[in-house]
């Protein structure tokens, strides 16, 4: 038996023993996600156990080095682990901006002390992070941000406002872009800071959405003192880190189109609409739309795998994350349009136990934001046109 086959056998046995049955049921809504952190209220003991067990094994971040809370797995082993988790229907043990965004940036740009301090807590789900990038006048044009940080000896003093800060009211720490040089060109006066959301002077105000929920906030900083050692990378060198982090954010959002955590679409539609006497979906039009979607989804999954392989060989182009983000967001929006078509008027139920408090309708509305968050589709198309296709700018 090869090492990889051994690893597969061991991984499967470990997952079968350690993944609680409840954590093998399909995710029905965002509420089923485990975010960890100091304030997180677990939905069940099974959810807590699953996060803790995977965190202790380093499998929440399988490819991170062991000294930073990972399992030090190689690419092939990590792929086997993903395959085995998918085969058993295991849920993600931990969803986290720390894992998807900050972790990769710290691995690349953080000091040794920052890596040792923050990465293991991310891996074990102990600290939940939020992202302080966008401001009222700096979204697509992010480099125009005006939140200021002034260095006073051993600490910065931060003043300003962020907006659309997802889960700021539930996060423990924030990774934040601040302006530290006011005379410099806009891209060169930005720094990347980390600080505790419980620091005096930090406050948040939730923003209510069409879905009836408030997944994000306005975040205010009023003379917040941040230790100078919480600066990541060079002073005024934050833009490079910000961009690097964005490529990971975009790949993560693109992955929404690929991560089939919900039931396969065909099965969902069959349950909702029933089958004809030949055992096929009764609605021929929807049947072909779903078939087309499933083919596109499969092709996208292959593209994600290929992109991952190329990146690991050092051949990836960071701008390709824009293509993945663009297409993955469109795919996810299409998935939920099709689910709504299959569910018919039942899909519009907004409250009550039968619909799990309108989980489908609310998630469908939420998907509309996929083509805005992490940079809008128009901005991704601009990047694809300029950087990947080499077309001239306007
Ligand atoms: C669900 C969700 C979660 C988010 N979470 C976070 C978070 O946690 N932290 C955070 O910092 N931010 C977050 N954001 C903010 C997000 O990054 C911004 O909304 C996004 O970058 C767009 O910025 P904006 O809203 O200011 O729109 P604008 O930049 O004002 O854009 C308005 C419109 O103009 C278009 N446009 C702008 N510039 C161009 C151009 N050059 N060419 C063509 N069209 C253009 C845009 O495509 C858009 O349609 C989140 C947003 C959403 C929807």
Q: What's the pLDDT tens digit per position in 62-82?
A: 999 999 999 999 988 998 999
Closest CA relative to residue 263, chosen from 4, 88, 25: 25
| ∠ CA 30-36-42, rounded to 5° | 70
Mean pLDDT, rounded, of the chain = 92
Asked if residue 214 has its Cβ within 6 Å of ligand 1, the reply is no
Asked if residue 165 has its Cβ within 6 Å of ligand 1, the reply is yes
Catalytic residue, candidates 249, 258, 297, 330: 249
Query: Averaged over 340-344, what is the pLDDT?
Result: 93
249 is catalytic: yes
Buried b (16+ CB within 10 A) or exposed e, 135-157: beebbeebbebebbbeeeeebbb
At which residue do the structure tokens 């954010």 appear? 249
* Rounded (10°) angle between helices 284-312 and 75-88: 150
Host H or E run for residue 156:
strand 155-166
Q: Ligand 1, residue 136: give the atom nearest the CA.
A: 26
Q: Ligand 1, residue 378: give the atom nearest the CA.
A: 47
Q: Which residues contact 10 (CB under 8 A, 6 or more apart)?
A: none
In CATH, 255-388 is 1.20.140.10: yes
Asked if residue 163 has its Cβ within 6 Å of ligand 1, the reply is no
Asked if residue 189 has its Cβ within 6 Å of ligand 1, the reply is no
Asked if residue 216 has its Cβ within 6 Å of ligand 1, the reply is yes
**Pairwise pLDDT comparison (235 vs 248), residue with the higher score:** 235
Pocket test for ligand 1, best of 372, 375, 384, 387 (most atoms within 8 A of CB): 372
Q: Ligand 1, residue 374: give the atom nearest the CA.
A: 17
pLDDT tens digits for range 106-153: 999 999 999 999 999 999 999 999 999 999 999 999 999 999 999 999
Instruction: Give me ligand 1 centre to Cα 323, in Å.
Output: 17
Of the candidate CATH numbers 1.20.120, 3.30.559, 1.10.10, 1.10.540, the domain formed by 3-95 belongs to 1.10.540
Closest CA relative to residue 261, chosen from 376, 371, 355, 363: 363
Of the candidate CATH numbers 2.40.110.10, 3.40.50.2000, 2.60.40.10, 2.60.40.60, the domain formed by 129-236 belongs to 2.40.110.10
Instruction: Give me ligand 1 centre to Cα 315, in Å.
Output: 29
171-185, 241-255, 278-292, range with the lowest pLDDT? 241-255
N-term to C-term CA, the chain: 58
Instruction: Give me ligand 1 centre to Cα 218, in Å.
Output: 14
Asked if residue 140 has its Cβ within 6 Å of ligand 1, the reply is yes
| Per-residue pLDDT, 265 | 87
Query: Averaged over 380-388, what is the pLDDT?
Result: 94
Asked if residue 191 has its Cβ within 6 Å of ligand 1, the reply is no
Confidence of residue 257 (pLDDT cuts 50, 70, 90): low
Domain spans, the chain: 3-95, 129-236, 255-388
Closest C-alpha residue for ligand 1 atom 50: 373
Asked if residue 242 has its Cβ within 6 Å of ligand 1, the reply is no
**Pairwise pLDDT comparison (352 vs 84), residue with the higher score:** 84
Percent of the chain predicted with pLDDT > 90: 71
């Amino acid at each position: 038996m090869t090492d990889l086959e051994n690893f597969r056998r061991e991984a499967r046995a470990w997952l079968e023993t350690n993944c609680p049955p409840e954590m093998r049921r399909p995710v029905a809504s965002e509420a089923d996600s485990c975010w960890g952190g100091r304030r997180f209220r677990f939905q069940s003991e099974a959810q807590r156990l699953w996060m803790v067990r995977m965190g202790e094994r380093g499998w929440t971040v399988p490819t991170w080095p062991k000294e930073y809370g990972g399992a030090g797995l190689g690419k092939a082993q990590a792929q086997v682990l993903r395959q085995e988790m998918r085969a058993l229907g295991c849920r993600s043990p931990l969803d986290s901006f720390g894992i998807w965004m900050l972790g990769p940036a710290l691995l690349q740009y953080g000091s040794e002390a920052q890596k040792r301090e923050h990465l293991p807590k991310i891996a074990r789900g102990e600290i939940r992070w939020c992202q302080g990038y966008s401001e009222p006048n700096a979204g697509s044009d992010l480099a125009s941000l005006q939140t200021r940080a002034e260095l006073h000896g051993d600490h910065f003093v931060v003043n300003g406002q962020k907006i659309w800060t997802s889960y700021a009211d539930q996060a423990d720490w924030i990774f934040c872009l601040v302006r530290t040089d006011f005379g410099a060109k806009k891209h060169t006066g930005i720094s990347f800071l980390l600080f505790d959301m419980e620091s005096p002077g930090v406050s948040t105000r939730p923003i209510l959405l069409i879905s009836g929920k408030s997944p994000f906030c306005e975040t205010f900083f009023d003379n917040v003192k941040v230790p100078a050692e919480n600066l990541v990378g060079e002073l005024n060198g934050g833009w490079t880190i910000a961009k690097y982090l964005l490529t990971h954010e975009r790949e993560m959002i693109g992955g929404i189109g690929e991560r089939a955590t919900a039931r396969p679409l065909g099965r969902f539609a069959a349950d909702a609409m029933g089958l004809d006497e030949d055992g096929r979906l009764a609605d021929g039009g929807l049947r072909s739309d779903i078939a087309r979607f499933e083919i596109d989804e499969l092709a996208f999954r292959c593209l994600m795998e290929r992109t991952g392989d190329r990146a690991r060989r050092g051949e990836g182009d960071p701008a390709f994350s824009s293509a993945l983000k663009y297409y993955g967001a469109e795919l996810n929006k299409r998935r939920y349009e099709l689910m709504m078509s299959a569910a018919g008027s039942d899909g519009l139920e907004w409250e009550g136990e039968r619909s799990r408090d309108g989980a489908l309708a609310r998630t469908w509305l939420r998907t509309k934001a996929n083509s805005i968050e992490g940079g809008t589709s128009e901005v991704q198309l601009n990047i694809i046109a300029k950087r990947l296709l080499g077309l001239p700018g306007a």
